[in-house]
Amino acid sequence: MPLAIETHHLRKVFHGRPAVEDLNLEVAQGEVFGFLGPNGAGKSTTVKMLLGLTHPSAGVARILGQPIEDLEVRRQVGFLPELFRFHDWMTGRDFLRFHGQLYGMETADLERRIPEALELVGLAGRERERIKGYSKGMQQRIGLAQAILNRPKLVILDEPTSALDPIGRREVRELIAHLKAEGTTVFLNSHLLSEVELTCDRVAIVNKGRVIQSGNLAELLNPHLEAELRVDKVTPALRNALSGLARILEENGERLTLALPSEDTLPAVAEAVVHSGTKLYALTPRRESLEDLFVTLIEGGDS
């Protein structure tokens, strides 16, 4: 199966200044992929190149195995831009009809698909209202509905939840899970890292137009597993029992912060604590967040 997205040494220069330096990216079909980076890192420029909205200065990009110039392949891509300018005099339904026609969808298929898409984004029943009367969250939802209207194989979402309240964000997560279950690839550009953490299989972090870290989220965050241990008393026997299993990072009275090689070590730590004659009150794993990793990588890269 071809990759959903693939770029090799992709580069874009604006007025002599590179926005994208040397971008190498591989996104497999069917995965939910987070494309992250600080402001000005080159994310939107990359997305514009993938959509054929701006031409690369150098390098190669392919979508679903085809060059990005291929018009047929572009029909299989759905896109929600970040600052989407709506035709706000239209009703939600007319707006979707208009976009469905732009996609070249058959009328009967389009009329079947519009209620499905409205249902999926939680706007069913509101389609006869004009978009100018929609709240920001509803506008983002109608944008999402147009992005998935033609049942694309690849959906590129630029900040899809920025205007949504917590319930709306959860619904978008469910929508993304639904797209994934249908085999759709989702390429998500977002600054909301806690959302990304809940949604994505893999991520790439870009800075200054290059990928500085990429991989499976669980693997990227796993090496940094920490656990909070709370006992009745920290004794030499406890320290002895822990050595070889975990490293003590911090001590605060009866609370210890431990660094563990993996989650599998947790039961052995619990057992060792009990065998040392100490009373165990709590052993709570605390994984590094994606935000911690992001800040470490970006700030580390700047120094």
Ligand X SMILES: Nc1ncnc2c1ncn2[C@@H]1O[C@H](COP(=O)(O)OP(=O)(O)OP(=O)(O)O)[C@@H](O)[C@H]1O
Question: Which chain residues interact with ligand X by CB under 6 A?
Answer: 14-15, 19, 37, 39-45
Whole-number minimum distance, CB 20 to ligand X, in Å? 7
Torsion of CA 43, 180, 202, 52, to 10 degrees: -30
Q: Provide the 8-state DSSP code for 289.
A: P
Nearest CA-CA partner of 57 in 12, 95, 21:
12
Whole-number minimum distance, CB 19 to ligand X, in Å? 3
| Amino acid letter, residue 114 | I
Q: How far is CA 122 from CA 46, 93, 100, 175, in A?
A: 30, 14, 19, 10
Number of alpha carbons in the 13 Å side-chain half-sphere of residue 16: 0
Q: Output 180 or 210, the one with its CB closest to ligand X.
A: 210
Whose CB is nearest to ligand X?
19
Q: Output 41 or 175, the one with its CB closest to ligand X.
A: 41
Q: Output 4 or 192, the one with its CB closest to ligand X.
A: 192
Q: Output 37 or 100, the one with its CB closest to ligand X.
A: 37
Whole-number minimum distance, CB 209 to ligand X, in Å? 7
Whole-number minimum distance, CB 15 to ligand X, in Å? 6
Spatial separation of the C-alpha atoms in residues 245 and 241, rounded to whole Å: 8
| C-alpha radius of gyration, the chain, whole number | 24
For the sheet containing 66-67, what is the strand order?
17-27, 5-14, 58-63, 66-67
Alpha helices in the chain (DSSP H): 43-50, 71-74, 92-102, 107-120, 136-148, 166-181, 193-199, 217-221, 236-242, 266-275, 290-302
Q: Output 47 or 154, the one with its CB closest to ligand X.
A: 47
Q: Output 105 or 192, the one with its CB closest to ligand X.
A: 192
Whole-number minimum distance, CB 101 to ligand X, in Å? 29
Q: Output 159 or 171, the one with its CB closest to ligand X.
A: 159
Whole-number minimum distance, CB 54 to ligand X, in Å? 7
Cβ atoms of 149 and 114 within 8 Å: the answer is: yes
DSSP string, 228-250: EEEES---HHHHHHHTTT-EEEE
Spatial separation of the C-alpha atoms in residues 268 and 242, rounded to whole Å: 9
Whole-number minimum distance, CB 204 to ligand X, in Å? 12
Q: Output 91 or 190, the one with its CB closest to ligand X.
A: 190
Q: Provide the 8-state DSSP code for 168.
A: H
Whole-number minimum distance, CB 27 to ligand X, in Å? 17
